[in-house]
Each structure stands twice: as C-alpha cells, then as structure tokens.
Chains A and B, each alone.
Chain A
C-alpha cells in the first residue's frame, strides 16, 4: 500500500521536476516546481514525519514559491520565451551534471547513503515526532542550529545593506 503511494508521488515529483526545467515559460516552471515540492511533502508524510511535511508546504510552497512567483510574474514573459535558453554555460554544465549523476549513482549502488538506525521506533515517532525533533534540535544539535541561524541573519542583513546602498546611489 505504502509502496504504491510512494511510487505515485515519486513519479509525479520526477515528472514535474522535469517539467520545471523543460518548459520555457517561467511561470509554468514555477507551477511545476510547486507540484514537485508538494509531492515531496507527501513523501515526508509516508516517512512518518508530518511535521516536516507541514513545514515543507508552509515554508517552501507557501512562502518561498510565492516570492519566486512575485519576481517571475513581473518579467516580460513574451521576450523571455523567445531568447535562446542555451549559452556558453552548457560547456561546463553538461560535464558537471554527468559527474554529479555518476556520483549519486555510485553512492546509491554502493549503499553508502544509508545511516545506522537510531533508537527511535515507529511507536515513538507516530504522535510524538515533533517533540523528538524539537528536543534533538535544541539539545544535541544546538550548535549547528545556531550557526545556521546566524548564517541566515547575515544573509538578511546583507540583503538589506545591498538595497540601502542602491537607494543612496
């Protein structure tokens, strides 16, 4: 049962991900990206972490994609569609993609991606997943958590500083 659902979600996710990079219209790309992110959220639910699923929908689909769209919508789509999408980047991009795919394939085949199973069983995770996550994050992983927060803060301040300069100039 779960397997079937997983394959449904995964297929849609991959197809729409292909859609993101293959359609010419940026708004359509954004739409496909949204579908992909929603499918990923569904897969999170299958993995017994509704918290992550909700946050995925909330942050990525609900906020970040809306920001993307805000920027994309004001583009002049008509011109965007006409311009050739391929340029010099492809010379570097194609080898890079090939190398990365090969790396991923190697990792999957070699089975290096699996981590040792922790002490949390289904019984604990269902119903208390959020609590477990929160406790871990704020005790064991407090340092990386704070580092990430500061990183985000720096990015935020940077963005504001850039805009301020722009206005003065």
Chain B
C-alpha cells in the first residue's frame, strides 16, 4: 500500500512541471505580439493592427502559418543533427525552470496543504541554471553546422565563440551573488534579500550594481539579443544559424530564444532584485505578482534595448567580453570578498 502523501507529492510535482511547461510553450504568443507592438511604437508605427482588434490575433495567425509551412531539410544537410538541433536548443531552455523559484510556500485554501511555488529547491540551483542554460548553445552550433550553408555555419561559429567569452563574465557575477547571499540555492538567495528594498543584492553598494551590469551584459550576449545578436545578424548573415530552417523547426528556435529571454529576466529578478520580495510594504499584493511584475519590466527592457541599440561589430564584442567584463569582474570579486570578510 503506497503512501498517500508520497503520491500527492508526486502528483503535485507533475502538475507543477506541466503548468510551467504549458506556460512556457504559450509564452511566445504574447511575447511576439508585445515585441512587435513595442517595435512599432518605438518606431512611431502601430505594429500589428489588422488581425483581430488591435492585431491581437496576429500571433495565432503566425502560429498557424508556422505549423502549416513545409518543413524543409536541405539536401546536403546532416539530416540527423539538423533535425535534432531545434530540440537541443529548446530542451535546456525549458529545463532551467526546474530550479527557478517563483514564490515562497503558499497554502491552498480549504485543503490545508502547503505548496511551494518552485519545482525543486536545489542546493546548487544557481550553478544548475547557468550550466543548463549554457547547453542551449549546442542547438545553435549544431543547427548552424548541419545546415551545410555558409551563413548558418558562421552563425554557429559566432554563437559558440560568443557563448564561451561571456559565460565567464556571467559566472563571475554569479559568484558575486553567491558571495553576497552566502548560498548556492536560489530560494535561499531570494530569502536572503527579504526585508526592505535595501536588502536586494542590487543595492549592496558599491559592488551590487556592478555585478548586475556584468550579469546583464553577459546574459544579453548569451541569449543573442541586440546589441549582441551576431549569430543571427540579419544584415550580413541572412538569418544566421537558422537560415535554413523553416516551419516548426524554426518555431522551436524562436521559442527557445523567447524562453531564454524570459529566463534572463527571471534570473535578474531572482539574483539582484529580490525575487518575489515586495519593494515596499503594500498589503494585499501577493508575492507572485511582484515577481511577475518585475519580470515583465525586464522583458520590456530587453525589447526596448533591441529597438534602440545598433549591433556591435564582432571584434568589439570580443573586446567587451575579454578586456572589459572579465577584468572588471575580477576586481569586483576582490572588493566583494573584502567587504564580506
């Protein structure tokens, strides 16, 4: 006779995984819409307008189009890796969410059961997130290489070099956060930032903001967003690593890119902006709303950035990574260490 509570725990786990996966799958629909609207308004246009009221049905039209499109595999492509690559980009992007805390414990009314608003509380959560999100680059590399196209290959090469260069800076900033919060677990990191707004890692002066900007720049580079979107530089590379992809496989790349953008927003909030902690003591606002609100602000920021900045040149990209971010993070690490003694 198996234990009832064990089954309940397992069921809860499965439900949580399903809910998060579904949310992540649906996420690109509003995100593509919002991104195009933001693009439109920043360029003093309207953005999508004609499909449905205010163009609200545009993402669904796009989705139908992507599903119905022919799935083209180039004749000379490496079929095995070509078909696998979109999934290699997508699965890590989703797997990251196993460790991300959306909120603290929450009691279901009437059932009197505590539910934690995260899938697991890993004691190496921050490392897990960095490691798994780093795996997404394989999709780009293999996708670029297997397409047997020069643009795709250059895109893949660029993404691998870019990823290596910026991973170091991002990990340094993660070390900084670990030093500030004294834990590798993301839940502990958030809890450590509880209290007032001044407990947030961002406001741990003078090193907090520096860590944040290092993280922000490095993470932007890792998820290939403007101004570091060289792997899919549409000005010079066609579409970069996914030049040869079409239909649903292309959609999977898009999906993983959007999910990665959300991951970076979520991680910025968790690591530097107090996760679900409220900045001011306003009653009746559940913590999860604070969390979502902060994430939305970050997502808007990334879109805003995309339609403001031009793309960096490739040598500038490398210079920023190796000659600015890494030395700055080394110095910052020493300062943080001294402050924490």
Contacts and interface: CB of A to CB of B under 8 A. Distances in A.
Nearest to A70: B160
A61 interface: yes
Interface in A17-59: 25, 27-28, 31, 34, 50-51, 54-55, 57-58
Contacts of B153: 73
Contact of B164 (A28, A31, A66, A127): A66
Interface of B is mostly: helix
Contact of A27 (B78, B124, B128, B164): B78
A70 B184 contact: no
A54 B145 contact: no
A130 interface: yes
Interface residues of B, number: 30
A133 B137 CA distance: 29
Contacts of B317: none
A62 B160 CA distance: 10
A152 to B, nearest CB: 14
Contacts of B78: 25, 27
A159 interface: no
A153 B303 CA distance: 40
Given A63-B164, A70-B160, A34 B130 contact: no
Interface residues of A, number: 24
Nearest to B126: A54
Given A54-B131, A62-B135, A73-B153, A130 B124 contact: yes
A130 B141 contact: no
A38 B305 CA distance: 35
B167 A50 contact: no
Interface in B68-91: 78, 80-81
Contacts of A58: 127, 130-131, 134, 171
A54 B164 contact: no
B262 interface: no
A51 B160 contact: no
Nearest to A61: B135
A109 interface: no
Contact of A62 (B142, B145, B146, B167): B167
B157 interface: yes
B112 to A, nearest CB: 27
Nearest to B134: A62
Given A34-B138, A50-B122, A73-B141, A66 B128 contact: no
Contacts of B134: 57-58, 61-63
A47 B122 CA distance: 15
Contacts, number: 74
B18 interface: no
Contacts of A73: 141, 144-145, 153, 156-157, 160
Contacts of B124: 50-51, 54, 130
Contacts of A31: 81, 142
A69 interface: yes
A130 B175 CA distance: 14
B127 A66 contact: no
B269 interface: no
A130 B131 contact: no
A67 interface: yes
A51 B127 contact: yes
B217 interface: no
Q: Which of B81, B122, B135 has the most CB of A within 10 A?
A: B135
A50 B120 CA distance: 13
A67 B131 CA distance: 15
A54 to B, nearest CB: 4
A27 B81 contact: yes
Q: Which of A54, A57, A63, A73 has the most CB of B within 10 A?
A: A54
Interface string A66-78: 1101100110000
Nearest to B161: A70
A116 to B, nearest CB: 26
B123 A129 contact: yes
5 contacts: A50-B128, A51-B127, A58-B127, A58-B130, A63-B167
Interface of A: 25, 27-28, 31, 34, 50-51, 54-55, 57-58, 61-63, 66-67, 69-70, 73-74, 127-130
**4 nearest A-B residue pairs (beta carbon):** A62-B134, A54-B127, A58-B131, A57-B131
Given A58-B134, A62-B135, A66-B137, 19 more contacts: A27-B146, A28-B80, A50-B128, A51-B127, A54-B127, A55-B127, A58-B127, A58-B131, A58-B171, A62-B137, A62-B167, A63-B164, A66-B163, A70-B164, A73-B141, A73-B153, A127-B123, A129-B123, A130-B124
